Amino acid sequence: MAGRKIRDAAEARGCMRAAKTARGVSRAAWAREHGIDGRSLNAWRINLRRRAQPAASRLAPARLVELVAGPAINSEPVRFVVRCGAMAVEVDPRFDEQALLRLLRVVASC
């Protein structure tokens, strides 16, 4: 049976300190022994670590590139493709610049 969920950040920090000082016991085992839901403890651990990082360090560094339109091939309209890892965003030259910036922020946050 799952234990109780951790209520707030202060309780989460206290539980993590106690689990860390318990030698030879995994965090999951410590949580079970103390009636704490291990998934709740782990979620708080991840979230508190993210909160401690500056916002700028959470995003990959941006690289600025110049997009130059080439000639249309086979009468197809010119398209720009922006790739970020496995993701690609394809837009035409009329795409609104502000909308593109919002879209790239969303892609970068994934």
Residue at 3 is within a domain:
no
What is residue 74's predicted lDDT score, i.e. its pLDDT? 61
What is residue 61's predicted lDDT score, i.e. its pLDDT? 66
User: How many domains, the chain?
Assistant: 2
Residues 64 and 32 in one domain: no
Residue 104 burial (C-beta neighbours within 10 Å; 0-12, 13-18, 19+): middle
Residue at 2 is within a domain:
no
What is residue 80's predicted lDDT score, i.e. its pLDDT? 79
**Amino acid, res. 67:** L
What is residue 28's predicted lDDT score, i.e. its pLDDT? 87
Domain, as residue range, for 77:
59-109
- pTM value is 0.47
Residues 51 and 63 in one domain: no
What is residue 73's predicted lDDT score, i.e. its pLDDT? 59
> Per-residue DSSP letters for 37-93?
-HHHHHHHHHHHHHHHS-HHHHSPPP----------STTPPP-EEEEETTEEEEE-T
pLDDT along the chain (110 residues), means of 10: 82 91 88 90 88 66 66 65 75 80 75
